[in-house]
Amino acid sequence: MTLRIFIADDEGPARERIRELLQDIAAEMPTEIVGEARHGLEAIELVPKSRAQVLLLDIEMPGMRGLEVARHLAGLENGPAVVFITAHDKHAVEAFELNALDYLLKPVRATRLAAALKKASSAGAPAEERLAGAQSEAREYLSVTERHRIVLVPVRDIVFLRAEQKYVTLRTRNRTHLIEEPLITLESEFAKRFIRIHRNCLVAREAIRGFERAAPSADEPHWLVVLEGIEERLPVSRRQWPLLRELVADQK
C-alpha cells in the first residue's frame, strides 16, 4: 500500500533531498507525496485537506515552528502521523526522546527514513499531551478545528478566556470561539500574558483599562474589569481582587 506523505520544510534543497530519498526507498516503502509546505502556517493550511498519512515536519520553520504546527494538527480527525526533522537542536531532541516522539536528524539517511515511515504508518497521529510535553515555550496561536480546516487565533489577539461548562469561550475584539482546553492548563501556559480575575476567567493583562464598581443593587459590592475594545464588563472575584488592585497600582 502506498503511503501518503506531506513534506514541510522551509528550505528548497531540504525538500528536494527528502523527495530523492523517498524515491530511493520506493521499492521497500512505496510512497506518494501529497503536498509540501514552505513554512508552518502553510502546513496548517494545506495538511488537513491533503489526507496525508505521514507528515515529515522540520522543526525550525518560519511562520510557526514545527512543534506548534503538530499540536494544532493533533485536533484533526484522522490526522497524519508526524516525524519531526531537525538539523541540530539538542533541547528539541531531548524533548522528543522524553515524550516518545519520532524524529530524524538532518542530513537524513535513507534507511532511517524508511524505518521511521514504517513505524509512523502504524502509529497514527501523536497525542496532543505528548506534543505539549515536548514544547517548552507557549504557543503563539490557539486553534479551533473544524472538519477539514484549522482556524488559528493569535494568542496576542485574545482579550479573555472564560470557562463555560464543557468549553472555554475565547474572545477576541471581534469574534468568539469555543475551544476544548481546560482553563487551568491555559493559565499556566500563558501566565505571562493572562491574569485570572475569577474562578472561571482569564483576562489579557494588556487589555485591562480599569475597574468599575458594580451596580449597588448587587448583593455584595464587587468590582468589574473594563476592557479595551470590548463593551462587556467582567466580574472580579473577591479572592482575586487584592492581586489585581496591586497589579493596577504597579502600572501607575
Partner 1 sequence: MPSIRQNDSSDLLPDFRNLAVIARVLVAVNAIALAGAIYAVPNVRGAIERFIEDAAFLEPLLFIEITVLFILSRQLGRLSYAAGCVASVAIVAVLAAGYEAGVASLSKTTAMTFRGALFAAVLAAVLLGYFRLFVKAYSPALAEARLQALQSRIRPHFLFNSLNVVLALIRRDPKRAERTLEDLADLFRSLMGDARDFVRLSDEITLLERYAEIEQLRLGERLRITWELDAAPSDALLPPLILQPLLENAVYHGVEPSTEVGDVLVRIERRGDRVLARIENATIEAGAERPGNRMAMENIRERLALFFDAEARMDVRVQHGRYRVEIEIPYLTQARRAA
- Residues forming contacts to partner 1 in the complex (CB under 8 A) are 10-14, 16-17, 20, 38-39, 41, 60, 62-63, 87-89, 105-107, 140, 156
Nearer to partner 1, 139 or 162 (CB): 139
Nearer to partner 1, 92 or 170 (CB): 92
Min dist CB 6 to partner 1, Å, is 18
Min dist CB 70 to partner 1, Å, is 18
Nearer to partner 1, 59 or 81 (CB): 59
Nearer to partner 1, 53 or 86 (CB): 86
Min dist CB 190 to partner 1, Å, is 13
Nearer to partner 1, 123 or 152 (CB): 152
Min dist CB 106 to partner 1, Å, is 5
Nearer to partner 1, 12 or 221 (CB): 12
**CB < 8 Å & 24+ apart, contacts of 233-238:** 234/160, 234/162, 234/197, 234/198, 234/201, 234/203, 235/197, 235/198, 236/197, 236/198, 236/211, 237/197, 237/198, 237/199
